[in-house]
Amino acid sequence: MAGVEFSNKEWEIEGRFAAAENLPGNPALHLTEAVDSPLYRAGAGLELNGVNGVGLSVRYNGAFGETVKQNAVSASLKVSFQAGSRRGRAGGVLMRKYAYLVAMLGAACIAGLPAMAAQTKGDKAAPAANAAASAPQLPGGASALSETHGDWTVNCQISGTAKVCSLSHQQFNKQSNQRLLAIELSSKSGDDASGTLALPFGLALAKGVTLTVDDQKLDGSLPFNTCQVVGCLVPVAFDASVTPLLKSGTTLKIDAFASDTGQQVSFSIPLNGFGGALTRTAELLAN
């Protein structure tokens, strides 16, 4: 027979000050003591009933916590003798054999069970160590990070088991403090970048936008995706042939058209610090 019991409960004791027992407003004191948790209790027993009135009983009881380990082994031997008979002499021989068996079983339990408990604790600690090693990290163990690189900002934060990092630039109306435009990009390699460009309302969405780096116009036009509270959104993607132009350039120009007049409307984004912000974003996502 065998059994295992585990518990992570707490002991709670209620008491009062004896000198102020009858005074009003004397609340009970609740003292809580945490049990070494998790606490495992194991028990096993073996009982043999042999011939010639010989019986053997062996029991083990143990308790294992994070800091406490207890082992206890007990054994008992029962022999019925009949004086002057062969059965009595046989019982004496069996008694010595069973006593030797009891000693061997006790030694095995005492030597083996602490090692088993240590192995169990090690198996339980291994997944926790692996999870900690694979969890996303930021420099200094921070949960969020913000850096300024020229006219660009790098933001990075830990969200659950994921790390989200991006480089961005925003422009605001100095009088109303309303945001005019914003661009947010992300890159894992530092050789390319993709993200979203947010432009103000009132633009001809069907005509899209075109991009120019300094005096070099990029191929094609980019369509609007949707309009939200933050503005009208344009998905953007720069491959390895365009990012060198952005890193060495001074201005990214966005050309759109007004929806009411059809006139061309231009926006300019400074590229000062873009290269450093792109490289830093890739570094943070790689670590």
Q: What pLDDT is recorded for position 34? A: 46
For 172-217, the pLDDT digits (tens) are: 988 888 899 999 999 999 999 999 999 999 999 999 999 999 999 9
- pLDDT of 30 higher than 50: no
Domain CATH code at residue 198: 2.60.40.1880
- Report pTM: 0.55
Q: Which residue has the tokens 């027992």?
A: 21
Distance between start and end Cα atoms, the chain: 53
One domain for residues 98 and 151: no
| Percent composition of the chain: helix, strand, coil (DSSP 3-state, to 5) | 25, 45, 30
One domain for residues 195 and 251: yes
Q: 273 Cβ partners below 8 Å, 6+ apart?
A: 148, 149, 150, 151, 152
One domain for residues 121 and 66: yes
One domain for residues 22 and 119: yes
Domain boundary among 134, 153, 169: 134
Count of structural domains within the chain: 2
One domain for residues 125 and 151: no
Residue 126 host element (H or E): helix 86-134
One domain for residues 118 and 160: no
39-49, strands of its sheet edge to edge: 2-7, 39-49, 54-64, 69-79
For 254-268, the pLDDT digits (tens) are: 999 999 999 999 999
Angstrom distance (rounded) from CA 192 to CA 279: 10
